[in-house]
Amino acid sequence: MEKLIYLLWKDEAESRGDFSRRLLSELPHSLPPAYAHGLQLNVVDEAIRPAEHMLIENEKPRFYAMVSLWLDTALARQPAEAAMARHARRIAGYLVTESCPLRDHDRVVEAGQRSYGFSQVVLLRRPPRLTYREWLDIWQGSHTSVAIESQSTYRYRQNVIARALTADAPDTQAIVEECFPPAAMTSWQSFYGAEGDDALFMRNSRNMVQSCRRFIDFDKIEACATSEYHFQTIMPAAGR
């Protein structure tokens, strides 16, 4: 099984609300029955408007949706790409390897319903000062534990890009998905897991920023809050 991630751009004349509503209502039904083992849509909709202050936008125009697909093989992606091309002004696809250092064992989301809180999607680029191995070792070898300990994240996914699937895909080496509780949209203390504790907030935010600077150039990343929807769920293997 392979995981594919696509970034989608809307037409400038279409509102974010109309774009997200159209994707959520039409795209899942545009795919062939039993085509994907899993389908997840992340949209920049009105629900996450309070988190707009968290936006990091170094390339314009920004993407307004992300589609995650789990297929038997990336060779079978054409129906999905054709469907997405009909619903978006531009698409950019990647084949990724997914790692989930922090799973959410507490919540079950019904198909087609919005997940709890919000998901921050971050596009990472490797700084030229680091080799690929150095960059990956810092991020996954030591930063991961800092991120989990310093934030109120309840789920954390790391998608390392194996290769681009579309010709004009932006140059990026990884896509991060970090899920936070609703209060983190408007409270940095809540974001850093330190509601009502100034000292803990200062410590956690300082540790997180210092760790990020080791492997991230902040003028080269993209980050935005999204609403997350699941339309199909991967079934566990027999005996698990």
Q: What is the pTM of this model?
A: 0.93
Structure tokens at 37: 């083992």
pLDDT in tens, 86-101: 999 999 999 999 999 9
Burial of 118 (0-12, 13-18, 19+ CB in 10 A): buried
Rounded distance between C-alpha atoms, residue 159 and residue 121, angstroms = 11
**Is the model's pLDDT at 240 over the cut of 50?**
no
Rounded distance between C-alpha atoms, residue 5 and residue 67, angstroms = 6
Share of the chain above pLDDT 90, in %: 87
What is the residue-averaged pLDDT of the chain? 93
Residue 34 has what pLDDT?
79
**Is the model's pLDDT at 239 over the cut of 90?**
no
Residue 233 has what pLDDT?
55
pLDDT in tens, 190-228: 999 999 999 999 999 999 999 999 999 999 999 999 999
Rounded distance between C-alpha atoms, residue 145 and residue 136, angstroms = 14
Residue 33 has what pLDDT?
80
Helix, strand counts (H, E) of the chain:
6, 8
Which one, of 117, 118, 116, 137, lies nearest residue 126 by Cα? 137
pLDDT in tens, 35-77: 889 999 999 999 999 999 999 999 889 999 999 999 999 999 9
